[in-house]
Amino acid sequence: MIASLDLAHAASGKYTIEAIQRIGLQANGLMQAARAQVDIAEADVVSAAALPNPEVTVMAGPDSPRLPEIDTGPASMQRQVTVSQPLENPFVRSARIGSAQAGVEASRANLEQVRADLAAQLRVRTYEFLLRRGLAEMESDIFNLMQEIQRRIKLSVDVGEVARFELIRADTEVMTAASRKEAAMLDTERARIALLQLTAGALEQGFDIEASLTDPVELPSLDALRADLPGSNPEILRLEAERDRASLRIEQERAAVLPSVDILYSNYQDKQFTSNTVGLSLRIPLFYRRSGEINAAISDAARVRETLDYRRFEVVRLLESAWQTMEIARRRVEMFEGGIVREAESALRVAETAFRLGERGFIEVLDTQRVLRNARSELLQARFELQAAAAEIDRLRAHYPKD
């Protein structure tokens, strides 16, 4: 059902944020590489569980007398077949398989981390596109306003009501507004290209977004997020798998100190005798007991444990920082929406009316227009920061549209 909705949006050229995330998670090359790492780790489990192959040695050659005066009859052939089958240490084997399985879990957690990072990046880039488009629309409105004021001033100059200096100033403001409008439109296209890049060109060139910077941000409480974070953050899960793998590597290296055994079977035949022998071959670690490998495994396990402890602490702090950023942005949005923008719009309307009636000059209109422009820019930026902070929280807890 969800896939059909995404296809319907794609056919219309309009995409929701979830649809863009799904498309990006399917098309992005980094995702394909992370999936390949999981396949490699699963193949390593098969290799780790494989039994050692037997070794067969065959030797054959002519059998002839060494002394000519000894007549032993016609020359014959002798041959010897030896079969060697290693008996694997069960402790080494179980540790090796467990380490490979932990590697699979680490690769899957890494894939989840890549997914969460990419989904958050797609979400932020989408809202950045909406931000740039909103700024471009604002600059276009200002440009239209400056053109209207320029037209009125030109009429006043033609009839001799105002000095030509006012028209020169109006022309300058129109050119400045046109420059800002063009720059804002180019920034919008740059944000569009960034989205196309993240989705590997899977979006249509002239795509549109079914979303807004005013979309509601609904998240669990900070305490609930803090409690669920250790079990959902992909980096913590990956480091936990790495810790398990490092511990199993220590067991593997310690178990490798035990003697290894090979079962031998040999069959010998010549023209007189046939013999079958069975024996054992032992490799005893007498002079070197793998102290270097064991110490390296212990140090690596300590490194992973310390990294895990630090990242657990750091991820919680990142969550709290993103939460505070979100709350600050929310207060800024409420402040600008609650009165600053409306008051600036009212002031501009009053200044425009007074300008048309000849009660105020061009400078008053410019001043109120700049105040409104700054207020609207700050409001758009605060809305974007609110959405970006929510995306960062979702990234930390790996919350994104699943397949």
3-state secondary structure 186-221: HHHHHHHHHHHHHCCCCCCCCCEECCCCCCCCCCCC
Given a cut of 50, is residue 3 above it in pLDDT? no
- Please give the average per-residue pLDDT across 164-189, as a whole number: 87
- 184 vs 181: CA distance, rounded Å: 5
Pairing status of strand 55-63 against strand 76-87? antiparallel
CA distances from 99 to 50, 87, 103 (A): 14, 20, 6
Question: Which one, of 199, 201, 194, lies nearest residue 30 by Cα?
Answer: 199
Lowest-pLDDT choice from 121-135, 138-152, 185-199, 312-326: 138-152
In sequence order, which residues have a C-beta less than 8 Å from that of residue 224 and are 6 or more positions away?
Answer: none
HEC profile for 85-131?
EEECCHHHHHHHHHHHHHHHHHHHHHHHHHHHHHHHHHHHHHHHHHH
* Per-residue pLDDT tens digits for 359-384: 666 677 777 888 888 888 999 999 99
Question: Got the DSSP string for 265-315?
Answer: EEEEE-SS-EEEEEEEEEE---S---HHHHHHHHHHHHHHHHHHHHHHHHH
> Lowest-confidence range among 1-10, 21-30, 172-181, 183-192?
1-10
Report the residue count for the chain.
403
Residue 4 banded pLDDT, cuts 50, 70, 90: very low
If residue 55 lies in a helix (H) or strand (E), which one and from where to where? strand 55-63
How many helices and strands in the chain, by DSSP H and E? Answer: 10, 6
Average pLDDT over every residue of 71-83: 77
Least Cα distance to 113 among 240, 237, 244, 246 occurs for 237
Residue 206 has a pLDDT of 84
- Provide the pLDDT for residue 196: 92
Task: Tell whether the model's pLDDT for residue 102 goes beyond 80.
Answer: yes
Range with the poorest average pLDDT among 46-55, 247-256, 309-318, 335-344: 335-344
pLDDT at 5: 43
pLDDT average, residue stretch 82-93: 92
pLDDT in tens, 137-170: 999 988 988 888 788 778 777 776 665 777 787 7
**Ramachandran angles phi, psi of 56, nearest 5°:** -115, 130
Average pLDDT, the chain: 87
Tens of pLDDT, residues 201-210: 888 888 899 9
Predicted confidence at residue 122, as pLDDT, reads 95
Residue type, 8: A
Whether the predicted pLDDT of 8 surpasses 70: no
pLDDT in tens, 222-235: 999 999 998 999 99
pLDDT at 342: 84
Is the pLDDT higher at 356 or at 175? 175
Which residues lie closer than 8 Å to 24 by C-beta, 6 or more apart? 118, 119, 122, 198, 199, 200, 202
SS3 for 178?
helix
pLDDT digits (tens, 9 = 90+) for 264-315: 999 999 878 899 999 999 988 888 888 999 999 999 999 999 999 999 999 9
Task: Give the range among 10-24, 106-120, 257-271 with minimum mean pLDDT.
Answer: 10-24
Q: Which residue has the higher pLDDT, 4 or 191?
A: 191
Question: 7: pLDDT confidence band, cut at 50, 70 and 90?
Answer: very low
Q: In whole angstroms, how far apart are CA 323 and each of 143, 175, 385?
A: 37, 42, 11
Q: Give the separation between CA 93 and CA 87, rounded to whole angstroms.
A: 11
